[in-house]
Chain A
Amino acid sequence: MSMNGDERSIAAAPRSLWSQGWARFRRSRFGMAGALIVLSLYLVAVIAPLLTPYDPIAQGDVPRMRYVPPCREHPLGTDKFGRDVFARVVYGSRISLTIGLLAAAITVLLGSIVGAAAGYFGGAADAILMRIVDALLSIPRLFLLLTCVALFSGSIWLIVILLGATGWMATARLVRAQVLSLRNLDYVKAAEALGAGGRGVIWRHLIPNTLGVIIVAATLRIGGIILAEASLGFLGLGVPPPAPSWGQMVFEGREALMSAWWLSTFPGIAIAVTVIGFNLLGDALKDAFDPRQIA
């Protein structure tokens, strides 16, 4: 029995790091606020049809219904096609959240592959891959994105792929650094000394111990991805209309800024709240699970 108990406590040690992290995270007021914002946004995206009776895309009775200021029936007013702005903001959350999550997943995937390859193989492969990362990072993201958008004209899936394909470099650096530092740790050396093969080491030790850091970093990056998507939308190069993309809505409101201030204002607030939510969540997760602070 006592043997079992000892075994359990050894096996439980890594999990207790996680539970320590969660305890730290739950104590963070900013982190909980961020989690609340993000969860509410996903809820809004899912139950959008229950929140508003209006169609976000179909045009209404345009001459009568266009540019209606915020009122009882239309709490955020209507746009130049007589569409309810509240409905468009609510349905727009689906686009921003989907793009943010999927593009972040792509950056994790690409960044992990490149970073792990560079860190594990080292030598020439490392040098070449990291110089490509440096070169891509020296072209400002928006320039890179715009160039790609110009070359491959767009749908929402293409935007997702491009946002992912232009955002993986920082993740690659992070994963490479993690793999390099973990490779020389005693428990990895011990596993190798006990006869574990390279693949076993990577899957049993390197990947699980890197995954947390990667996911935390990815959470922190979703906000930036949503901002980048909104910037593309604002430049008229994002998700093609009439889909209710927040950036595009701010852009469309620009021409009537003086007479219909609500068109640009509310979608912009939606973007800001979403990005704040993900940044709060990501910051708190980073603080809670940063290995340097666990020590």
Chain B
Amino acid sequence: MRGFLARRLIQSLVLLFIVLTITFFLLRLAPGDPMSRYYNPDFSPETVRSIRESLGLDKPLAEQYFRWIGSFVRGDFGVSLRYRRPVRDLLAEAIPNTLRLTVTALALHLILGIFLGVLSAAKRHSPFDRVNTVAALFIYSIPSFWLALMLILVFSLKLGVLPSSHMQSLDTEGFSALSLALDRARHLVLPAFVLGIASAASTARYMRGSMLDALREDYIRTARAKGLPESRVFLKHAFKNAALPVVTIVGLSLPFLFGGAVVVETIFSWPGMGRLAVDAIYARDYPTILAINFTVAAIVILGNLLTDVAYGLLDPRIAFAGGKKG
């Protein structure tokens, strides 16, 4: 197990390093000086030169690269060109907001996906199963921004039962802790639903297939032959084994979750990383864009590492498959 952990940790660090390198060269690939948009036409050539010097743009590419890597590793992401604040501070504000949204969506995704998938497998080829199949396909194919707008149209604008933007009401003064929590939960409903539902649809399909595979295994026949009640065979023997691969789905769904957050946060004015990224892109705020890319990749890589470790703990065959015993 320890060898497995060490191997995965090193792999993750290598991936992060490659992400950093790719983002650096992506920026240099862009036509012109990355800062040229910010030069005022009135600047004298000397001013421009001193700006370039202060940003290290006059140095050779290799030196810029190593300086840049060095400052990223130290957690120094530079200063946002748009907000004139350290990017690190902007991220520190945005990350918890994005996590609140994505973690809720992930929970919804797993609960709904596993529940519907298992139910579909239990009643396979029934009308319920068919409706589930078709619904999953539709939900998976609907653009999330459109679904969000339609839900806002119905629940916020027509019915007025759920808020359409922000994380909490503008004026929360005098709210008790409970009503503040309720207020925040109400603001979370629509964005988390939109973000979680598409992944829930594909997970339900996956869970259904996984259950049906498990039900064909020999140990199920053994359990039935022993005379165990069908419900026990289904939930205890089949479900436990079928649910295991879903752990990997959590890891695989992270990039989609954070990618989806870009659109959802933009629509619902949710002050997280996705919205920060879109705003940074409109303003061509390169330091912020690159720092967000790096941070999101780091979260995804960390999430994958954690799910792999969890999978290794739950299923010892995985950890030992690499040949090195822990």
B and A form one assembly: yes
Q: Given A140-B300, A279-B140, A268 and B18 touching (CB < 8 A)?
A: no
Flag the segment in B149-157, B184-192, B240-248, B313-321 that touches A: B149-157
Inter-chain CA distance A150–B144, complex, in Å, is: 22
Closest residue of A by beta carbon distance from B133:
A30
Counting CB contacts under 8 A, is B258 at the interface? yes
Is A146 within 8 A of B157, CB to CB? Answer: no
Within 8 A of B (CB), among A196-255: 223, 227, 230-231, 234-237, 247, 250-251, 253-254
Contacts of A137 in B (CB 8 A): 255
Residue from B27, B137, B263, B278 within 8 A of A279 (CB atoms): B137
* Of the residues A140, A152, A265, A268, contact of B30 by C-beta under 8 Å: A152
Question: Is A275 an interface residue when CB atoms closer than 8 A count as contact?
Answer: yes
A142 at the interface (CB under 8 A from B): yes
Interface centre among A132, A146, A271 (most CB of B within 10 A): A146
> Any chain A CB within 8 A of the CB of B19?
yes
The chain B residue with its CB closest to the CB of A133 is: B18
Q: Are A142 and B263 in contact (CB under 8 A)?
A: yes
Choose, from B85-93, B109-117, B167-175, B288-296, the stretch at the interface: B288-296
Q: Is A143 an interface residue (CB 8 A)?
A: yes
Chain A proximity of B264: nearest CB distance (Å)? 11
B38 at the interface (CB under 8 A from A): no
Interface presence of A62 (CB below 8 A): no
With a cutoff of 8 Å between Cβ atoms, the chain A residues found around residue B62 in the complex are none
* Closest Cβ neighbor of B295 among chain A residues: A143
- Given A137-B255, A147-B26, A271-B143, is A276 in contact with B138 using a C-beta cutoff of 8 Å? yes
Say whether B301 faces chain A, with CB atoms less than 8 Å apart: yes
B29 adjacent to chain A (CB < 8 Å): yes
Is the CB–CB distance between B277 and A146 below 8 Å? yes
Which of A134, A140, A146 is in CB contact (< 8 Å) with B15?
A134
Which of B145, B152, B266, B296 counts the most A-chain CB atoms under 10 A from its CB? B145
A141 to B277, CA, bound (A): 13
What is the size, in residues, of chain B's interface with A at 8 Å between Cβ atoms?
49
Q: Given the complex, which residues of B lie within 8 Å of A231, measured CB to CB?
A: 143-145, 262-263
Find the B residue at minimum CB distance from A277: B141
Q: Contacts A140-B259, A142-B259; is A147 near B15 (CB within 8 Å)? A: no
Is B31 positioned at the interface, with any CB of A under 8 Å from its CB? Answer: yes
Known: A231-B143, A234-B263. A132 touches B137 (CB 8 A): no
| Interface flag for B22 (CB, 8 Å) | yes
**A136 within 8 A of partner (CB):** yes
Contact (Cβ within 8 A) B281 A147: yes
Other-chain contact of A254, B30, B149, B258, B297 (Cβ < 8 Å):
B149
Collect the chain B residues with CB atoms within 8 Å of residue A223's CB.
Answer: 141
Q: Identify whether the interface residues of A are mostly helix, strand, loop, or mixed.
A: helix
Closest CB in chain B relative to A240 CB, distance in Å: 14
B18, B145, B281: the one within 8 Å of A237 (CB): B281
Flag if A272 contacts B255 (CB, 8 Å).
no
Q: What residues of B have a CB within 8 angstroms of the CB of A271 in the complex? A: 143, 146
A residues less than 8 Å from B120 (CB atoms): none
Q: Known contacts A135-B297, A152-B30; is A272 also within 8 Å of B143 by CB? A: yes
Are B255 and A140 closer than 8 Å at their CB atoms? yes
Q: B281, A149: Cβ atoms under 8 Å?
A: yes
Across the interface, do A250 and B146 meet the contact criterion of CB distance under 8 Å?
yes
Whether A131 is near chain B, meaning CB under 8 Å from some CB there, is yes
B80 within 8 A of A: no
- Assess whether A135 is in contact with B22, with CB atoms less than 8 Å apart: yes
Q: Is B142 an interface residue (CB 8 A)?
A: yes
* A138 proximal to B (CB < 8 A): yes
Q: Does B256 contact A (CB under 8 A)?
A: yes
Cβ 8 A contact of B278, one of A131, A144, A146, A250: A146
- Nearest-neighbour CB distance to chain A for B91, whole angstroms, equals 14
Which residues of the partner chain B approach A250 to less than 8 Å between Cβ atoms?
143, 145-146, 149
Q: Does A50 contact B (CB under 8 A)?
A: no
Chain A nearest Cβ from B301, distance in angstroms: 5
9 tightest A-B CB contacts, nearest first: A268-B146, A140-B259, A135-B18, A151-B30, A142-B259, A275-B141, A150-B281, A140-B255, A276-B141
Q: List 24 A-B contacts (CB under 8 A).
A: A134-B15, A135-B15, A135-B22, A139-B19, A140-B259, A141-B255, A143-B258, A143-B293, A147-B23, A147-B289, A150-B280, A150-B286, A151-B30, A231-B144, A234-B143, A235-B263, A237-B281, A253-B149, A257-B152, A264-B153, A268-B142, A268-B146, A268-B150, A272-B142
Q: A142-B259, A143-B292, A272-B143 are in contact. List 7 more A-B contacts (CB 8 A).
A: A131-B14, A148-B26, A152-B30, A236-B282, A250-B149, A268-B150, A279-B141
